[in-house]
Amino acid sequence: MNKIFTFKPYLKPVVWGGDKIKEFKNIDTDLANIGESWEISGVPGHESVVDSGEDRGLTITQLIDKYGADLVGEEVYRRFGDSFPLLIKIIDARDNLSVQVHPDDELAGRRHNSPGKTEMWYVIDADDNADIISGLSKEITPYEYRSRVADNTITDVLACHKSHPGDVFFLPAGRIHAIGGGNLIAEIQQTSDITYRVYDYDRRGLDGKPRQLHVEEAVDAIDYRVYDNYVTDYDRAAKGEVPLVKCNYFDVQKITVNGQLSLQHLSESFTALICIDGRCTVDVDREAACDISRGHTVLVAASARSVTLTGNAVLIAASVPRDSAK
């Protein structure tokens, strides 16, 4: 089987989207207001499609059906079957995204027969005035939450952080959050598209109508506690493979390549590699190689025994840790 795959991205125009994704990915498209590029997705209706090689034209679900554990790993295949467990996006926020929250597995399963949504962000680029909302700055009650949404003061109790390239935010289900305008972000999350929008600045959608809010649905989803630190700390000066976030759903590292680098921390699952700067060649088991450049993503099969990167690049690597598949 092939052990490295590329996919056609799904470009999603939204009211807050901009034009940075076109430049970042070096693509030519007539689409405007592109807010998201879904790099690898198993979301029903928006499943990624292989765009080259002998498996060209297969959806990621069909790819898993064909290769099974060799593609995604034995533990991942046992737990998720033909469903790809991560959704990987590039997000361009020209304007502020809505203030929102996602349910956890229990609530999402009960209400929507779906997984919950824990996610993380890596800030690729940020304008001088860009910020990120992550968490609460003041502990509130569900009653106060409802009142503040009603009188448009909910933003007064949200933790707002000045954003910089390289910043990392971990967003467990239940944490209220929003991407501010001027941010270009790589997002890794559970495969779920369930979002409770709680505040949207009285904005209209692309259809000219007010965007739907989910104020009541969010009441039981929000974590109302305040935490000490919402920005993930990591060694920004380190080269090679640097851990960023590890939770039950994903294990994410930053990889800096200057010359040649053999990956030392190959997962028992697949590994998605998102190139956020430069370019390099990805060589798998000395059998298959693929060039990857800024803005593009490849999927390395779990059956790979060695991965060597050659070039000058910065990448984000995402896999599923073993503990999450037990």
Which domains can be identified in the chain, with CATH numbers?
A: 4-219 (2.60.120.10), 240-325 (2.60.120.10)
Per-residue confidence (pLDDT) for residue 203, from 0 to 100: 83
Measuring CA to CA, which residue among 266, 268, 300, 264 is closest to residue 281? Answer: 300
Per-residue confidence (pLDDT) for residue 55, from 0 to 100: 97
DSSP state string for 249-315: S-EEEEEEEEEEEE-S---SS-EEEEEEEEEEEEEETTTEEEEEETT-EEEE-TT-S-EEEEEEEEE
What is the residue-averaged pLDDT of the chain? 95
- Other beta carbons within 10 angstroms of residue 149's beta carbon come to 17
Phi, psi dihedral angles at 124 (to 5 degrees):
-80, -45
158-192: b (≥16 Cβ within 10 Å) or e? bbebebeeebbbbbbbbbbbbbbbbbbbbbbbbbb
CA dist 304 and 311 (Å) reads: 20
DSSP state string for 178-197: EEPTTEEEEEEEES----EE
Catalytic positions are 197
pLDDT in tens, 52-95: 999 999 999 999 999 999 999 999 999 999 999 999 999 999 99
**pLDDT band of 325, cuts 50, 70, 90:** very low
Whether residue 323 contacts residue 248, with contact meaning beta carbons closer than 8 Å, is answered with: yes
pLDDT in tens, 274-294: 999 999 999 999 988 999 999
Per-residue confidence (pLDDT) for residue 326, from 0 to 100: 45
Q: 28 Cβ partners below 8 Å, 6+ apart?
A: 22
